[in-house]
Amino acid sequence: MGNYRFILSGGGTGGHIYPAIAIANELKVRYPNAEFLFVGAKDRMEMEKVPQAGYKIEGLWISGLQRKLTLKNLMFPFKVVSSLVKAAKIVRRFRPHVVVGTGGFASGPLLRVAAGKGIPCLLQEQNSYAGITNKLLAAKVSKICVAYDGMEAFFPAKKLVKTGNPVRSDLVSTASENLEALPFFKLIPGKNTLLVLGGSLGARRINELIAEKLPLFKSLGVQVIWQCGKLYYEEYKKYEGEEVKVYPYINRMDFAYSAANIIISRAGAGSVSELCIVGKPVMFIPSPNVAEDHQTKNATAIAKEEAAILIREKNLEVEFDSAFARLVESDEYKSKLGSNIKKLAMPNATKEIVNEIEKLLKK
């Protein structure tokens, strides 16, 4: 039977949306006649990104609790009730065979309703520290796919399968040197090349750091591909030059990863999974402004395997210069970090998650 119906729910950030899209794409390859419906939170980025990927989406009136008393918090109980009612209507109308949640507010009401009706549900948790929605749903779902060891601290051990996180399919083959990469960025062959990633919107503290350290990079003979983010491009494009290339967003990430031999990055789950596959030496500077400080926990899990350097924002002034200089000056150290992070890669994550969905279909 190929006429299956799947609902996928996840959103709020790219880290929840792109895994859901990757899973849907793999299901579509295996079941070309299947029907798909995404469920997201109204006014969040999934309402734009999912249709761009070619899928239908419906929005729930839901958001998270604020950390202080606000009008939004007073509305929260009404949003929950409204979302549960709409989720029930969606599930009753669409009659899914399996429901997949990748985290984010909207997946809470939807999976709660679906699991309550006896529909098999699968959770995909990207981070090393589980999100609140997934923790609340864990008791009700059939299977939980994770990317890190030790997740039985949050979830029932018997439901866990370690699959890794879905990554963009074009990256699985990028780690090899691409002869087009350096010319694409108009950079000089044979020099150390630093790739700076702060996410698609950018990271203020990383951008401040890079601007401040350009003289250090020049003295060490390092050229820079700098994705400063859409929010910061107007402020930082003035640093563009022969050895510093500044972009709001890099469309050819395969070239960027191939050109680089050192990477500075935030530590969102998707970025960490991609960088394991790329297998280059990485310095993680996690954002301290995310729920449960999960980026620091993600980066710590990699750093403790001697597979990356971790520097917290508050320690940059003291630790950055010496750590970066050591990275540039020691090919042996670069090679060790690159080889260790590559060992943590799980390039078949999407296929393995869909294998678990198939087991639920057979039940």
Binding residues: 13-15, 127, 168, 200, 250, 295
CA distances from 240 to 65, 161, 235, 248, 282 (A): 41, 45, 11, 12, 23
- Given a contact cutoff of 8 angstroms between Cβ atoms, the answer to whether 232 and 218 are in contact is no
- Given a contact cutoff of 8 angstroms between Cβ atoms, the answer to whether 136 and 159 are in contact is no
Radius of gyration of the chain (CA): 21
Ordered strands of the 5-9 beta sheet? 57-60, 35-41, 5-9, 98-101, 121-125, 143-146, 160-162
What is the spatial distance between Cα 108 and Cα 106, in angstroms, rounded to a whole number? 5
Alpha carbon 243 to its chain centroid, in Å, reads 29
Q: Which residues are annotated as a binding site for UDP-N-acetyl-alpha-D-glucosamine?
A: 13-15, 127, 168, 200, 250, 295
Please tell me what DSSP assigns to residue 160: E
How buried is 186 (Cβ within 10 angstroms: 0-12 exposed, 13-18 middle, 19+ buried)? exposed
HSE of 346, CA atoms in CB hemisphere, 13 A: 21
The residue type at 5: R
Token pair belonging to 283 = 């310095």
What is the spatial distance between Cα 123 and Cα 159, in angstroms, rounded to a whole number? 10
